[in-house]
């Protein structure tokens, strides 16, 4: 039986910080390094056996000793299997120094990075790090990285520096299993963290009068000699899993739903974000920080050859092909371009600017979609500038909205996003996933609010664990945009009604975090367009596609996984049952409230609760038509430089 690749699902690592209900703080901890017993102020996660420690000088260096008070000694400790460990010296990720360390075999590697937005941090000029003696793999199979960080206590922007005279906020992060792409390179790109958070540290308590003596001793110590290595094996372990010759095994065990089979297909990818397929069946992948690559597939959907189509490190997410197959569109955080594309040679030429002015430091990904019904129309999604972006209530901000552009009317040099095109929908916090049904109707799926609360008569209640719902919107015909208002930044959708003490709420009802006489639940009901599907809170839906086979009426949604929830949830591909009308417009098979329980899992992790240590995180999904029987949906899931495909073998959905 021959199967063409029917569709693809893309995933890459992203930050999974667990919500914290209590203040985390560093405490004194002493460790024997060489012949010295050094006491640090350390934040420690006992369950994960991971710690972040700090030691600061109490006064300047002795005469003749190089150094000053703008430095500290840090220590990172984690099980040897942990991929990388890092901290933010200013608490949050943006605009603060980020120290990242990992073990490359028996050698420790440390670098300092910075980013101004929620995007991969780049090496930072100014701070200087040195690996100190005593670093390496301990006899208990823990990696211990001791480093000196100079010019590291003050900086421009962000928090501005560490409070050296009292409490200061530090951030922490890690990836539970994956090393950087090039472990020997201190500037290597990283897999985004699987756990992150913040803790308090009393810097005054972390100061030591013996700092300079301790530093001198550490500089004279040798690195640890690596203990004998142990051999470990891993397996996909999922029922019905298959494999392509030469394809790497996935790093994380996953389950494939009954009636489906799956196979890993390709490895060696760099930050994969989006994908498409040309008219000759080549798989096109946008790899963040690299460009667009093309992969030739055999009759079984396995990769036999790969090449670079567009080499451009600014491309970070959006990718689509015109239905004619001769035009490719991709984007950075700020600009969308088109290229003439030849599928026979897999060449892209004649780069042309289409849309400009999309950059904001909050959500930096730009989803692109060319209408299949009328390919003259290009849809572009821009998310909000942060969690709650008040000004985005105005369409002219060009944020938290999806606009549509008639490409026949785009002049040389392109169009400015916020002042051009037509608004398909606004008040859409971060609608990364876009799908088009058989009628040509556009649907989008939203990443909703983090840290939700409800305030009534001054009493504020935390409701973020189970509210608000993520949701799907029906936006309409891109050739006749109506400017749908999705409610954001005021209105959110109930998932768990029991969290509301002041009124009866059902799934799908609207709520305001702090209602008043003007903006309240009733105002939202009257002014916001109702969604069509509810999905669990904080599951981060990043794409969706409709079944392509004539008998497949499902909607397939990739859930990237939570950061704002403990326990975490998401990290899966789900199937939402629905129906197409006579003219091909899709609707769910049940009413809005009932969609809370109507979806089914297709591809899941073995244990979502362990995702802080690493798990697969689906990003993109495509549908297609099989060469033989089946539902017509295959997904290929990207994670840790590989993608994974599943297909309906038994045709039982």
Q: What is the CATH number of the domain that holds 290?
A: 2.120.10.30
The pLDDT, as a whole number, for residue 297 is: 87
- Are residues 267 and 144 located together in one domain of the fold? no
Cβ–Cβ under 8 Å, residues 444 and 586: no
Q: Kindly give, in sequence order, each residue whose CB lies less than 8 Å from that of residue 626, ignoring residues fewer than 6 positions away.
A: 3, 4, 6, 549, 632, 634, 647
Cβ–Cβ under 8 Å, residues 171 and 91: yes
Among 220, 244, 263, where does a domain finish? 220
Number of residues that this document lists for the chain: 653
The pLDDT, as a whole number, for residue 126 is: 95
Per-residue pLDDT at 487 exceeds 50 = yes
- Are residues 366 and 458 located together in one domain of the fold? yes
Give the mean pLDDT of the chain.
Answer: 87
Give, in degrees to the nearest 5, the angle at Cα 532 between 529 and 538: 95
Domain range enclosing 276? 255-648
Give pLDDT tens digits for 131-182.
999 999 999 999 999 999 999 999 999 999 999 999 999 999 999 888 888 8
The pLDDT, as a whole number, for residue 625 is: 43
The neighbouring-strand residues paired with 308 are 293
Percent of the chain with pLDDT over 70: 88
Q: What CATH number does residue 201 fall under?
A: 2.60.40.1210
Structure tokens at 436: 């088009």
Number of structural domains the chain divides into: 2
- Provide the phi-psi class of 65: left if phi over 0, else alpha when psi is between -120 and 50, else beta: beta
The answer as to whether 18 is a domain residue is no
Cα separation, 319 vs 82, in Å, equals 32
Phi, psi (deg, nearest 5) at residue 472:
-105, 135
- Are residues 214 and 357 located together in one domain of the fold? no
Per-residue pLDDT at 653 exceeds 70 = no
- Are residues 371 and 462 located together in one domain of the fold? yes
Which has the higher per-residue pLDDT, 178 or 588?
588
DSSP per residue, 475-527: EE-TTS---EE--TTTEEE-S-GGG-SSS---TT-EEESS--SSSSHHHHHHH
The pLDDT, as a whole number, for residue 623 is: 58
- Are residues 276 and 127 located together in one domain of the fold? no
The answer as to whether 234 is a domain residue is no
- Are residues 333 and 465 located together in one domain of the fold? yes
Which has the higher per-residue pLDDT, 587 or 267?
587
Q: What is the pTM of this model?
A: 0.79
Cα separation, 205 vs 208, in Å, equals 8
- Are residues 271 and 137 located together in one domain of the fold? no
The answer as to whether 434 is a domain residue is yes
- Are residues 178 and 280 located together in one domain of the fold? no
- Are residues 456 and 502 located together in one domain of the fold? yes
Average pLDDT estimate for 610-635:
60
């Amino acid at each position: 039986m021959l199967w063409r690749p029917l569709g693809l699902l893309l995933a890459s690592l992203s930050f999974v910080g667990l919500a914290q209900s209590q203040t985390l703080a560093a405490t004194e901890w002493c460790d024997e390094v060489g012949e010295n017993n050094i006491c640090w102020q350390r934040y420690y996660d006992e369950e994960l056996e991971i710690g972040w420690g700090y030691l600061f000088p109490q006064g300047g260096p002795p005469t003749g000793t190089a150094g000053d008070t703008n430095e500290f000694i840090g220590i990172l400790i984690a099980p040897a299997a942990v991929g990388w460990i890092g901290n933010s010296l200013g608490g949050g990720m943006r605009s603060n120094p980020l120290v990242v360390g990992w073990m490359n075999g028996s050698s420790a590697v440390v670098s300092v990075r910075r980013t101004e937005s929620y995007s991969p941090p780049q090496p930072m000029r100014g701070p200087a790090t040195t690996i100190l003696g005593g670093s390496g793999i301990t006899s208990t199979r823990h990696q211990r990285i001791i480093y000196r960080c100079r010019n590291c206590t003050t900086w421009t922007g962000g928090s501005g520096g560490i409070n050296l005279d009292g409490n200061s906020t530090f951030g922490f992060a890690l990836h539970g299993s994956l090393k950087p792409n090039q472990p020997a390179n201190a500037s290597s790109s990283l897999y985004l963290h699987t756990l992150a958070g913040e803790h308090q540290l009393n810097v005054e308590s972390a100061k030591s009068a013996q700092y300079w003596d301790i530093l001198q001793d550490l500089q004279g110590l040798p690195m640890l000699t690596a203990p004998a290595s142990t051999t470990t094996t891993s397996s996909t372990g999922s029922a019905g899993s298959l494999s392509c010759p030469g394809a790497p095994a996935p790093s994380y065990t996953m389950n494939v739903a009954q009636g489906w089979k799956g196979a890993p297909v390709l490895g060696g990818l760099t930050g994969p974000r989006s994908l498409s397929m040309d008219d000759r069946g080549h798989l096109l992948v946008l790899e963040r920080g690299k460009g667009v690559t093309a992969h030739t597939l055999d009759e079984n959907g396995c990769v036999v050859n790969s090449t670079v189509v567009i080499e451009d490190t600014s491309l970070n997410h959006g990718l689509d092909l015109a239905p004619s197959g001769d035009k490719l569109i991709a984007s950075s955080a700020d600009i969308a371009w088109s290229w003439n594309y030849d599928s026979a040679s897999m060449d892209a030429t004649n780069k042309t600017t289409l849309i400009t002015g999309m950059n904001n430091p909050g959500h930096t990904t730009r989803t692109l979609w060319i209408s299949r019904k009328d390919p003259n129309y290009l849809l572009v999604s821009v998310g909000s500038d942060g969690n709650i972006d008040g000004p985005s209530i105005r369409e002219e901000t060009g944020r938290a909205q999806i606009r549509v552009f008639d490409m026949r009317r785009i002049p040389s040099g392109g169009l400015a996003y916020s002042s051009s095109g037509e608004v398909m929908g606004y008040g859409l916090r971060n609608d990364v996933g876009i799908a088009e049904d058989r009628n040509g109707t556009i649907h989008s799926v939203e990443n909703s609010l983090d840290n939700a609360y409800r305030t009534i008569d001054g009493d504020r209640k935390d409701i973020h664990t189970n509210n608000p719902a993520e949701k799907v919107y029906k936006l309409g015909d891109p050739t006749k945009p109506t400017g749908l208002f999705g409610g954001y930044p005021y209105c959110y959708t109930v998932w768990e009604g029991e969290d509301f003490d002041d009124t009866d709420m059902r799934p799908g009802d609207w709520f305001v975090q702090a209602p008043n006489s003007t903006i309240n639940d009733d105002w939202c009901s009257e002014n916001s367009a109702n969604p069509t599907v509810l999905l669990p809170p904080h599951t981060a839906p990043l794409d969706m596609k409709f079944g392509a086979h004539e008998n497949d009426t499902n909607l397939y949604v990739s859930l990237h996984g939570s950061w704002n929830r403990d326990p975490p949830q998401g990290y899966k591909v789900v199937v939402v049952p629905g129906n197409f009308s006579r003219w091909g417009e899709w609707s769910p098979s049940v009413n809005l409230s009932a969609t809370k329980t109507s979806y089914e899992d297709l591809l899941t992790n073995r244990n979502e609760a362990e995702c802080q240590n690493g798990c697969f995180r689906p990003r993109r999904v495509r549908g297609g038509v099989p060469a033989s029987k089946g539902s017509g949906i295959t997904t290929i899931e990207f994670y840790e430089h590989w993608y994974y495909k599943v297909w309906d073998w038994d045709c039982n959905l």
